[in-house]
Amino acid sequence: MTVTLNFHGAAGTVTGSCYRIVHPQGQFLIDCGLFQGNKSVRQLNLKPLPFDPKKIDFVLLTHAHIDHAGLLPKLYKFGYRNKMIMTEPTAGLLEFLLPDAAGIQESEAERETRKRGRRGDEPAQPLYTMEHAIEALKHRVTTKYGEWIEPGPGVRARYWNAGHILGSASIELEVKNGDGQTIRLLFSGDIGPDEKVFYLEPDAPADFDYILCESTYGGRERDDYTLGQRREALMTEINEALKRGGNLVIPAFAVERSQELLHDIGLLIRDGAISPNLVFLDSPLASRVTGVYKKYQSMFEDVELGADELFNDPRFRIVESVEESKAINAIRGGAIIMSASGMADAGRIKHHLRNNLIRANATVLFVGYQAPGTLGQIIQSGAREVRIHSDLVPVRATVHSLGNYSAHADHSELMAWIKDRLPAHGALFLTHGEDEERAALRSAIIATGGLAGDQVILPLLDDAFELRAEGVAGVRKPEAPRIDLSQMSSDWSNAYASFIIDLSHLLKETESDARRLSIMAALKAELAETAKTPTPPPIVRDSGAIHGEPSGE
């Protein structure tokens, strides 16, 4: 019997990381992440798992991000009771992240139930409950960087610092096949950039049979910067915002970004480079996560603040209670307000944006990626008006973006990481990226001559590769795809939202009611005509040559 590697997530999408290895002595998972993004992709969370959770011997977890760990409670719900192996800081983060994810699932189900109730339909069931999350947490087992463990018969594993977020790891694996051969694999997890506060650059050994590498930023480069240069850019943004007289609002992810900002802002205050009146981190989750960072701060590198100074300036207010959060509304200037979510599509940040966007002297600073269709992306793209909690809010504040904060390696850094890990005698699989990014990274790797075209594989969802030490012995495609691939990267609901916003602007700017009525009549007639004509076949961006099947390039 051979070793088979199954791609159950992050294959054709960025999210939902989940790989399953079946070997002569059992089977196990690497990551079990939630699918995030457009509606079609999120549907995958609700569909049955493509394997029996009761037959999985153990789970190896690369890091605590929800797109890597967010389906662990679902795994528990469907009968999984074995070990979930991770670093100690990852276990610390999951303590808060899994219940938070369960809370979101429960409130989404409640909202859906209310909607169904009005139609007289059955109540909606959450993907999983708080109880599933809390029970799943009991199965955490921790491991240290650099130490071999034997999680089950025929399998050895070792965790390496991936420099991405607190506790993040790349996982090295040795799996015995039926002929006594050992297959050596490396799973990158998510890889951090070289210039990052808290951690050294990502680390792992070289020389494997198979390497799996993430490709989130394939083909995309960030400006070169050092930690000092980035802090200087932040200083300039903060000083300009304070000079405008209003507040500075920063949407920030609860994990890692909030703590990086607290570190950098604390350092700038200590050095007298900025002088805000108060700095708020208004998010119960970010507050608890900051506690975990404090607990493991002895593991940090590249930190310029002492243990008692870190996240601890007298001007900092780390806010959990609703009352305290509401009190921030009264502050009209001189404060830095950081809050989650990072893309402003949920959480308390929406209140702060509603209060401050309308003020011409306020500033909104984006420090992270804003996915298409999120409130953050709509504000960032220059909308003059946005909808928040069913109110239309005019955007009068200054809106800026700072691109240098990232937890991900860019194209050159991914290339360097791969080069340092080669050779990959069998193949290199590129995962965790959109098609364009994966294809760009693939072309660049082949161009450098490190690997042949048929050795750089872009697997698709639920593809199964039979691995031998000398190379891939076969590829099995799923009998019935769990999702229509043409829908993975397109979704009508985002396009609809932006169409409606554009239409309402157009009508508002039209000079007379008579003209408005005639535009609407023309549009209605055109829509009725278009709806009658047959739909063209969907555009499928995926080409078989680069997905799974060796192309001979």
Q: Which stretch binds Zn ion (CB under 5 A): 36-44, 186-194, 345-353, 507-515?
A: 186-194
- Give the bridge partners for 437, in sequence order: none
Binding to Zn ion by residue 257, rule CB under 5 A?
Answer: no
Whichever of 49 and 61 has its CB closer to Zn ion, that residue is 61
Question: Least distance (Å) from Zn ion to the CB of residue 10?
Answer: 10
Question: Least distance (Å) from Zn ion to the CB of residue 36?
Answer: 11
Question: Least distance (Å) from Zn ion to the CB of residue 63?
Answer: 6
Give whole-number Cα distances, 305 to 168, 235, 284, 414, 530, in Å.
22, 17, 24, 29, 62
Q: Which stretch binds Zn ion (CB under 5 A): 185-193, 256-264, 512-520, 532-540?
A: 185-193
Task: For residue 392, count CB atoms less than 10 angstroms from its CB and return exposed for 0-12, middle for 13-18, buried for 19 or more.
Answer: exposed
Whichever of 253 and 280 has its CB closer to Zn ion, that residue is 253
Whichever of 170 and 283 has its CB closer to Zn ion, that residue is 170
Question: Least distance (Å) from Zn ion to the CB of residue 59?
Answer: 16
> What is d(CA 194, CA 115) in angstroms, rounded to the nearest whole number?
47
> Which parts of 3-51 are beta strand (E)?
3-7, 19-23, 26-30
CB 411 within 8 A of CB 442: no
Q: Which stretch binds Zn ion (CB under 5 A): 26-34, 40-48, 63-71, 427-435?
A: 63-71
Question: Least distance (Å) from Zn ion to the CB of residue 128?
Answer: 20
Per-residue contact flags (x/-) with Zn ion for residues 341 to 380, judged by CB under 5 A: ----------------------------------------
Per-residue contact flags (x/-) with Zn ion for residues 16 to 55, judged by CB under 5 A: ----------------------------------------
Whichever of 65 and 184 has its CB closer to Zn ion, that residue is 65
> What is d(CA 267, CA 312) in angstroms, rounded to the nearest whole number?
10
Q: Per residue, what are the HEC states of 51-67?
A: CCHHHCCEEECCCCCHH
Count the Cβ atoms, other than its own, within 10 Å of residue 138: 9
Tokens 């992270």 correspond to 368
Amino acid of residue 89: P
Whichever of 95 and 190 has its CB closer to Zn ion, that residue is 190
Interaction residues for Zn ion, span 391-410 (CB under 5 A): none
> What is d(CA 213, CA 296) in angstroms, rounded to the nearest whole number?
27
> What is d(CA 120, CA 344) in angstroms, rounded to the nearest whole number?
33
Question: What is the end-to-end Cα distance of the chain in Å, rounded?
Answer: 30
Out of 20, 65, 77, 231, point to the residue binding Zn ion (CB under 5 A): 65
Amino acid of residue 187: F
Q: Which stretch binds Zn ion (CB under 5 A): 60-68, 78-86, 441-449, 529-537?
A: 60-68
> What is d(CA 64, CA 123) in angstroms, rounded to the nearest whole number?
31
Q: Which stretch binds Zn ion (CB under 5 A): 35-43, 49-57, 62-70, 113-121?
A: 62-70
Out of 190, 237, 437, 462, point to the residue binding Zn ion (CB under 5 A): 190
Count the Cβ atoms, other than its own, within 10 Å of residue 20: 23
Q: Which stretch binds Zn ion (CB under 5 A): 182-190, 220-228, 237-245, 310-318?
A: 182-190
Interaction residues for Zn ion, span 277-296 (CB under 5 A): none
Binding to Zn ion by residue 77, rule CB under 5 A?
Answer: no
Q: Phi and psi dihedrals of 151, rounded to 5?
A: -70, -20
Whichever of 65 and 359 has its CB closer to Zn ion, that residue is 65
Site for Zn ion, rule CB under 5 A = 65, 190
